[in-house]
Amino acid sequence: MVGPQLATFLIRNRAQIDARMNAQLGGAAPDPASAEAELLRRFRSCAAAALASGRPAEPALEGLRVHDRRASALLDGWIGLQQAFVARLRQSTGVRRAKGAPRATRRAVSAAIDRVADGFLALDANSAQIVDANPAAGALLGVARDALLGVDAMAFVPSARQASWWTELEAMTEGCEPRRFESTLLDNRGREIAVTCSVTRFATRERTLALVLARPL
């Protein structure tokens, strides 16, 4: 398939491509109105323009506010132009990059994250937004680790269990002792996973994090 034909294919089949990607991501799929969804639309336009003309196209990135690691993970679902696009994204002065996890937090947890066999999620205790994760959490939920960043963790919790999760997060915030409980998570296909969880409080000057370890039962 030559460039112009592939460009036409990308445009004509954008809905099917998006639907397949969203199915693979499950709860981590970007909201249609989010900056990540707009990034994917601009990437598709950029890729189609490059394929149609046979020359690299300059991506339009002004005004976007995205997490570059999550953006890279989402773009991995597309074709091989994502590396150049993400590199341009990181270098662009027109892009307002979202603030990542505080450096102190990253230093404190990064050494342990990738070595832990259980699923590890660092959550903002107030919003339940996923600040960090390890590969085991990605494997447990069926989503690439970086694609989890910035996602509401409740997207992976059944509706009937969400109130109990908030209760545990609030109790953890108010106390200093780790919390332990059994619950259920949802993977990217909506399948339930019974887990036992431990939650530990980690406070910085900016916010309080809930460090969650989830082990399948």
List of domains in the chain = 3-91 (no CATH), 103-216 (3.30.450.20)
Position 153 confidence tier, pLDDT thresholds 50, 70, 90: very high
Contact 209, 122 (CB under 8 A): yes
Which residues are within 8 A (CB) of 99 and not within 5 positions of it... i.e. 6 or more apart?
none
pLDDT above 60 for 144 = yes
Position 76 confidence tier, pLDDT thresholds 50, 70, 90: low
Integer Cα distance of 49 and 53 in angstroms: 6
Give the residue, 207 or 16, on which the prediction is more confident.
207
Span 71-93, average pLDDT: 56
Position 99 confidence tier, pLDDT thresholds 50, 70, 90: low
Beta bridge partners of 183: 195
**Which range is least confidently modeled, 48-52, 100-104, 155-159, 181-185?**
100-104
Name the nearest CA neighbour of 136 among 156, 121, 147: 121
pLDDT for 183: 94
pLDDT for 146: 86
